[in-house]
A and B are shown apart, each in its own frame.
Chain A
């Protein structure tokens, strides 16, 4: 079993904060297929469409029949660790700082041979393992062999924790505590072991249900935070920016209009002010200071979560301006992800389907419970995934979008 993680000691202010270094990130284009699947939490390998041979490492042609059409296919990852080693010397700076490091060779039932990282609870070879694909600190997929059954404290494994953003012992900012989603996120990150939560609230004169209770929790510190106000964001960043390990930006404005149902731009403007410019303000104020803490000990800055919407992929005309603001936010989030990557900080985008709240009152079920969304977000942090599509509607829209975005557009147009 893994030694449980100890609560990190207070930082010694005399010591220099270490800078982030990344594991080797260079990959061939074809190998990025592994990363694309891992970003959504799947372990996929190429399978030959002609002869069915599973391929690894990623390649351009089947090593059995030379067929040039290889499709990425989901793997269950069960296999046998046939050899393993603990490295004490590495040529790379990232690993050098983290020696010793365990690696191994896994044979899948398909006979594919994988070189993988190896979780500390995996017995010495030969032994049965589950291989999963995770994103490493460079944002590229890396394979890790896990014990066949879950073990105690397994997420605390030193090597696995390098590939996740587990909230355990971390300090979290949740930008809007007044919504049911925000309150459920607070409960979920605390249940996952977060040290404390700063909970933003705008418009203090507006009393909304649930906020007082959640703000009264001992681990929660409420902070006045208005994403439409640059000065407010700046003040809060100055106050807590150097301590935040995880930002969860759940603040959003959601109104139910297309172009013609509401004359003028005031509502669309309000949506953009929070959903797009709010993210931009937050990223400008918190981004730099978090990047500086990407390697700040066991619990340094590690992740940034954006609450987007499945409507960000394709416009949902009844919520047309909201969809547009989320599409803008998605694009900006991709920029943020690229800028946070050198500091090893993961940007996670959540694309829920319609949330079961007042603004989706007229949207037919199924709708996503705020608690389910909160658990999906914490799950993404624990697994280190980059893009999540919580709920049945989001899953279905995602599948339709992958199949053919033009068809989805036409279908949504009614």
Chain B
């Protein structure tokens, strides 16, 4: 079954803050309320809810229904971190296509108390608690330092390649009102920033923060009837624990499923007008560009050197600035690219605009369970011409 009759609408953002005394419930409530506000729908119109959050514990989506006073007939909880946005969309799309729900609100959000990130890390997974956290407790910085060092050694990437991506994203972020980083980034700033976990320095690392994102999924005819601007869903893939025999992560599940993705969508990589990668660390962006067939494996560094990545560049990337410049609001980080992709395609951008964008690709990646990220996903969205 294709996704032809699925519409994605009503991208909402609860502005990010570095720290908050609110709980995740507050941010998720705000995101849900904002979808009503933006769409003009009432609480009773939405019969499906899909939630992602790390800091909602001990609650899940179940507890949230009572907390927020809603009675959905379809409920999903997706604990897949940075892949949550793409996978929420996949789940919600099938639910509305099959009639299990009419309108699904997909929301992701997290709070960030002064000490909550450390607590999340210490008990992130059984493998992390047993076999990662006791080794320096560097969190994802340490995990991605190991992957980055390996990638650089094997494929000849240089820090200024990664810096180029970070700088372009910062330029995009300067046009996006909710970005927490508001100053331009120079290559010198990037290369001389304080070391975090060699070879990573400060601007290679996302900054944990609090915030939320959301969108609505319904059938196209419903969106048209409601007068909502919508993006179309051309294709979507997900994969978990791909390539378990690779000694270290140099690729994600996208490589297994990309042909399927482009076949579903009926487009080629060259048809894509902008790409939203999951950019928790720039090495992951490079891997996604390779695995999603924008260049061959190992050619990421050359691809970076031959393109420009700002909104009006040869390869517009992470159009709102990405997590590296906007901040990483926990699971909302897995929604950031999706939400801005919807806005770019519905003409509702609140920041910079990719000129004449018709097709966008959103990639998700999440959950460093032990030594690598396990969840990958990607989706191709298009402007709804109807």
Residue numbers of A with Cβ under 8 A of B are: 23-28, 31, 56-58, 63, 82-92, 94-95, 101, 103-105, 107, 111, 113-117, 125-126, 136, 138, 140, 142-143
For A91, give its contact among B121, B123, B135, B245 (CB under 8 Å): B121
For A28, give its contact among B130, B244, B245 (CB under 8 Å): B130
* Chain A residues in 8 Å Cβ range of B139: 91
Q: Roughly how many angstroms separate A101 CA and B153 CA in the complex, as a whole number?
A: 21
* Chain B residues in 8 Å Cβ range of A104: 146
For A83, give its contact among B123, B127, B149, B370 (CB under 8 Å): B149
Contact, CB under 8 Å: A105 / B135: no
Contact, CB under 8 Å: B131 / A103: no
Contact, CB under 8 Å: B129 / A103: no
Contact, CB under 8 Å: B118 / A82: no
Q: Roughly how many angstroms separate A91 CA and B133 CA in the complex, as a whole number?
A: 9
Number of B interface residues in the complex (CB < 8 A):
39
Q: Roughly how many angstroms separate A31 CA and B138 CA in the complex, as a whole number?
A: 20
* Chain B residues in 8 Å Cβ range of A57: 126-127, 130-131, 370
* Chain A residues in 8 Å Cβ range of B248: 82-83, 105, 113
Contact, CB under 8 Å: B135 / A117: yes
* Chain A residues in 8 Å Cβ range of B146: 83-85, 103-105, 115
| Best-surrounded residue of B126, B136, B146 (most CB of chain A within 10 A) | B136
Q: Roughly how many angstroms separate A104 CA and B141 CA in the complex, as a whole number?
A: 13
- Asked if B58 is at the interface (CB within 8 A of a chain A CB), the reply is no
Q: Roughly how many angstroms separate A161 CA and B194 CA in the complex, as a whole number?
A: 27
Q: Roughly how many angstroms separate A25 CA and B133 CA in the complex, as a whole number?
A: 9
* Chain B residues in 8 Å Cβ range of A86: 195, 197-198
* Chain B residues in 8 Å Cβ range of A138: 134
| Best-surrounded residue of A24, A90, A126 (most CB of chain B within 10 A) | A24
* Chain B residues in 8 Å Cβ range of A92: 118, 122, 133, 136-137
> Known: A57-B127, A85-B197. Is A101-B370 also a contact (CB below 8 A)?
no
Q: Roughly how many angstroms separate A71 CA and B194 CA in the complex, as a whole number?
A: 45
Q: Roughly how many angstroms separate A57 CA and B117 CA in the complex, as a whole number?
A: 23
- Asked if B227 is at the interface (CB within 8 A of a chain A CB), the reply is no
- Would you mind naming 12 contact pairs between A and B with Cβ atoms under 8 Å apart? A31-B130, A82-B247, A83-B149, A85-B149, A87-B138, A88-B197, A91-B139, A111-B245, A114-B131, A115-B131, A115-B135, A125-B149
- Asked if B142 is at the interface (CB within 8 A of a chain A CB), the reply is yes
CB contacts under 8 Å to A, within B95-131, are 117-118, 121-123, 126-127, 129-131
Contact, CB under 8 Å: A95 / B150: no
Write the chain B residue with the least CB distance to A89. Answer: B196
> Known: A83-B146, A103-B138, A107-B247. Is A88-B194 also a contact (CB below 8 A)?
yes
Contact, CB under 8 Å: A113 / B197: no
> Known: A91-B138, A113-B248. Is A83-B147 also a contact (CB below 8 A)?
yes
Q: Roughly how many angstroms separate A84 CA and B136 CA in the complex, as a whole number?
A: 12
Q: Roughly how many angstroms separate A84 CA and B153 CA in the complex, as a whole number?
A: 11
Contact, CB under 8 Å: B132 / A115: yes
Distance in Å from the Cβ of A259 to the closest Cβ of chain B?
47
| Best-surrounded residue of B121, B135, B197 (most CB of chain A within 10 A) | B135
CB contacts under 8 Å to A, within B180-223, are 194-200
Contact, CB under 8 Å: B134 / A91: no
For A140, give its contact among B126, B134, B142, B198 (CB under 8 Å): B134
Contact, CB under 8 Å: A88 / B195: yes
